[in-house]
Structure 1
Amino acid sequence: MRGVQQIKKIQTDDKKKFYNYLNLKLTGLICEESDWLANLSNASALLWLLLEDINWAGFYLYKNGELVLGPFQGKPACTHIQIGKGVCGTAAKELKTQVVEDVNKFEGHIACDSASKSEIVIPIVKNEKLVGVLDIDSPILNRFDKEDALYLEKFVDTLNKYMDWSKVI
């Protein structure tokens, strides 16, 4: 049985330092674990634990031409999302990170939690194929910016480095 490393919140205004810590902890959690479900569960729990001002963090996985709810932390969520619909479906269709400052101004936003005010969605692409998306919601307007996008894309890169996505899709 593998033990879980000590994970502590860090207090810093330096996003680079924060996200480097986050990715270091992610690597420690998943680098020796082959089970995709365990890894995505721990990844969403890590985001939930360490990111401030969020109310949902998790994954939607690409299956049978749509996004299907995967491991997450937060309130119950939409189970199926069509490609091109909402922020997650748009990120999946465009294969481009979506940073939404105000979800009420995003045409076609899917409101799983009415408390969500802003959102960031990072597509997960491996070998030029869509695997899914990382979705994070916040009850704060303008919670996410380009710097968050850059570092959360690195979080997804860390997942891609250690995950065997062929067992997921």
Structure 2
Amino acid sequence: MFQTSSYSGDRVKDYELLLQQVKALLNDEPDHVANLSNASALLNQFLENVNWVGFYIYKDTELVLGPFQGLPACIRIPTGKGVCGTAVETKETQVVADVNAFPGHIACDSASQSEIVVPLVVNDEIYGVLDIDSPSTNRFDETDKKYIEKFAAIVQSSLN
């Protein structure tokens, strides 16, 4: 049911199929760790040219590493620091074409060159972030932003 061979190559159609897949995957499962784990695995298999897909969970005043796909990562990120901490502070998606030009970027993996981070808000409170890194600059465009935000919204609904 979740094989990448079912994708057509049409980005919009494929993203729409991805959204259906994540809804089915998370449907009726109350466990947050299971849902975040499966969501990161599905997104990692779907996206091309990425080297890290995962979640950070907001605890106290910082983000703590959650379920992910990729190399070992930074464990704790303070609010307002780096791309992830900025997404928490602003409660807005951060699309960074070149992480080396982002003030205060935290280099968990030196291979990462661009990044998108979507804040997860549950019951009007920051729950965490969805973080995706790419080894290429300018990897994420408006289509990616639109659909990754929709993906994150589906994940958010599973966290209520």
Q: State how far apart, in whole Å, the 2-side matches of 1:140 and 1:130 are.
A: 29
For 1:129, the aligned partner's letter is E
Q: State how far apart, in whole Å, the 1-side matches of 2:84 and 2:129 are.
A: 7
Q: State how far apart, in whole Å, the 2-side matches of 1:99 and 1:15 are.
A: 18
Match of residue 140 from structure 2: 144
DSSP 3-state at the match of 2:110: coil
DSSP 3-state at the match of 1:69: strand
Gaps of 5+ in 1: 1-5, 165-169
Q: Which runs of 4+ in 1 moved over 3 A?
A: none
Q: State how far apart, in whole Å, the 2-side matches of 1:140 and 1:26 are.
A: 26
TM-score (norm 2): 0.95
Give the share of equivalent positions with the same residue, in percent.
Answer: 56
For 2:154, the aligned partner's letter is T
| RMSD (CA atoms) | 1.0
Per-residue deviation at 1:22?
A: 1.0
Match of residue 69 from structure 1: 65
Write out per-residue CA displacement over residues 67-112 of structure 1, whole angstroms, 9 at most, x where no aligned residue.
0000000000000000000000000100000000011110111011
- Contact persistence 2:35–2:158 (CA under 8 A): no
For 2:2, the aligned partner's letter is I
Aligned length: 158
Gaps of 5+ in 2: none
Per-residue deviation at 1:8?
A: 1.5
Q: State how far apart, in whole Å, the 2-side matches of 1:43 and 1:140 are.
A: 23
The match for 1:8 among 3, 8, 18 is: 3
For 2:133, the aligned partner's letter is D
1:6-155 map, 5 Å: 6-9=1-4, 10-12=7-9, 14-155=10-151
- Contact persistence 1:99–1:146 (CA under 8 A): no
TM-score (norm 1): 0.90
Q: State how far apart, in whole Å, the 1-side matches of 2:140 and 2:114 are.
A: 7
